[in-house]
Chain A
């Protein structure tokens, strides 16, 4: 039995008097596409920020691949294989799509500090970028500046940057937010495809129940900073507590 990918123990983070994440313990296994859901203010975003290094915990530990990463800065976690995408798009607006993907590719290969060789000479990074641009369907637009891309394309680019670091665990924060149904299906298909490749385990934070139930193999429900329920989609659908506090308000 391989060790769990991510082990969270007693994680806690307060803001003033409010415990945004309150004694959360969780284990993530590789290959299981997990969704984290919960009403607004449940602590989902805070949890992701704690796991990815944007916030430091007040208490508790985070073990990734059996190493304590609780207090490591984001870039150190990314180097170990833990990355994320953002809900509010966080791409490199003045660069081309290709350059957006090149950067994490270069970083992964440790080439970002090279100052005296031309960028074009980085064949491996370019090959990586080509592969990813193909996967996310943006190869044709690789030379376009991000500003010129449609919203849906930018979202796919956002996803591409997250997976370009070839993470083993990738958190997607509301990956389909602000999309029309067509774009949403495209993104979901992409996530499903990438997940099926087996290289990366995805954890998505989502509000859209259709997305959640169609994509995930496991659902974690949060409320008021704590884990309310945790199980397969079927089990969650049946769970009374979940229905009362959360699903009851959704169609």
Chain B
């Protein structure tokens, strides 16, 4: 009874600390354009975009047990989709939500092909299909602009017909748009992960056979997880074109697929916040590495090997472990 009390108290204190940190973080993000320059906003947007990308990836990997090396394919569908839609009709919501929806549709189609296989086979297939989308982006000149990609994509105004129309040309305005979209998507993700569906996906990760014998059609839920991950990847990708006014094929390359994988590994696979923390860490580390050496991929590769060999829970599990150990050391054993 004593240990249970101490554990619960630790958890409560951890929760409060977490919640306080979260509020502080959101406040900092809200105030950023007032204190930081263009570059800071730019970096923050990219971290937020990667957070969404990684969040979706981890719903598939950490929560459902499916490791995908091809998420950049859906990221690209979101990006190119948004770009095409904006060139068609310059309305921000139309482009961004439309791009995400297109990515979700692509995930549905490809998911049906990939989902029915064992996990290893699945991973291999996702890499292949991701690169298929890359070669499409590269070769289909007439539609995607080929090597040069799509240019001149407008940072369209945020329009809800009849209600409002907000001009988005200032970077600060677009920053707030990205922030709000990201926060909403993260909150939604949090909801989903702590819902019955979230538990079901975790059950599938832990034992598919047992899930089948609990009465759950496992394939259907794998597909759901895959589509959700595709939607998040697509949303992340769709936020790119209005920011940079251009989309090029590298967004679909397997090295882009590696970004959410590495971010999640660094931050922690087993928690909701892991991918988000990891996105921030990954961005910072990559930025640092690029400044020092041309061969930053080797460094990242070494980080992956080290994490996989010894720190599979990522930074967050290290932090959690240290926190628990400290509490235990202070109280009764």
Touching in the complex, A and B, CB below 8 A? yes
Which residues of A line the B interface, CB within 8 A?
52-54, 73-76, 78-79, 83-84, 86, 90-95, 99, 102-104, 106-108, 111-119, 122, 125, 161-162, 164-165
- Top-6 shortest CB links A-B: A104-B214, A78-B215, A92-B206, A107-B215, A115-B197, A74-B212
Taking the complex as formed, is B199 at the interface, i.e. its CB lies under 8 A from any CB of chain A? Answer: yes
The answer on a CB contact under 8 Å between B191 and A118 is: yes
Q: Which of A52, A106, A108, A118 contacts B200 (CB 8 A)?
A: A106
Which residues of B line the A interface, CB within 8 A?
191-192, 194-200, 202-203, 205-207, 209-218, 221, 224
Looking at B194, B199, B202, B212, the one whose CB has the most chain A CB atoms below 10 A away is B199
Write out the residue numbers on chain B whose beta carbons fall within 8 Å of the beta carbon of A92: 202-203, 206-207, 210
Q: Which of B191, B200, B209 contacts A116 (CB 8 A)?
A: B191
Question: Whole-angstrom distance between the alpha carbons of A114 and B200 in the complex?
Answer: 10
Write out the residue numbers on chain A whose beta carbons fall within 8 Å of the beta carbon of B209: 54, 74, 86, 90
| Shortest distance from the beta carbon of B32 to any chain A beta carbon, whole Å | 30
The answer on a CB contact under 8 Å between A78 and B199 is: no
| Shortest distance from the beta carbon of B93 to any chain A beta carbon, whole Å | 21
Question: Whole-angstrom distance between the alpha carbons of A115 and B51 in the complex?
Answer: 20
Q: With A90-B207, A103-B200 known to touch, is A161 a contact of B195 (CB < 8 Å)? A: no
Write out the residue numbers on chain B whose beta carbons fall within 8 Å of the beta carbon of A116: 191-192, 195
- Residue ID in chain A nearest B202 by CB atoms: A95
The answer on a CB contact under 8 Å between B221 and A118 is: no
Write out the residue numbers on chain B whose beta carbons fall within 8 Å of the beta carbon of A83: 213, 215
The answer on a CB contact under 8 Å between A95 and B206 is: yes
The answer on a CB contact under 8 Å between B215 and A108 is: yes
Q: List 29 A-B contacts (CB under 8 A).
A: A73-B217, A75-B214, A75-B217, A78-B214, A86-B209, A91-B207, A91-B210, A92-B202, A92-B206, A93-B206, A93-B207, A99-B203, A103-B200, A106-B199, A106-B200, A107-B215, A108-B215, A112-B200, A113-B221, A114-B195, A115-B191, A115-B196, A116-B192, A117-B196, A118-B191, A118-B195, A119-B196, A162-B213, A164-B214
Write out the residue numbers on chain A whose beta carbons fall within 8 Å of the beta carbon of B224: 113
Q: With A73-B212, A78-B215, A108-B215 known to touch, is A94 a contact of B197 (CB < 8 Å)? A: no
The answer on a CB contact under 8 Å between B194 and A103 is: no
| Shortest distance from the beta carbon of B50 to any chain A beta carbon, whole Å | 24
User: Given A103-B203, A119-B199, 11 more contacts at CB 8 Å?
Assistant: A78-B212, A83-B213, A91-B210, A92-B202, A92-B206, A93-B206, A95-B203, A99-B203, A112-B196, A112-B200, A118-B195
The answer on a CB contact under 8 Å between B192 and A119 is: no
| Shortest distance from the beta carbon of A96 to any chain B beta carbon, whole Å | 10
The answer on a CB contact under 8 Å between A79 and B215 is: yes
- Residue ID in chain A nearest B217 by CB atoms: A75
The answer on a CB contact under 8 Å between A103 and B197 is: no
Write out the residue numbers on chain A whose beta carbons fall within 8 Å of the beta carbon of B194: 118-119
Q: With A94-B206, A112-B200 known to touch, is A52 a contact of B213 (CB < 8 Å)? A: yes
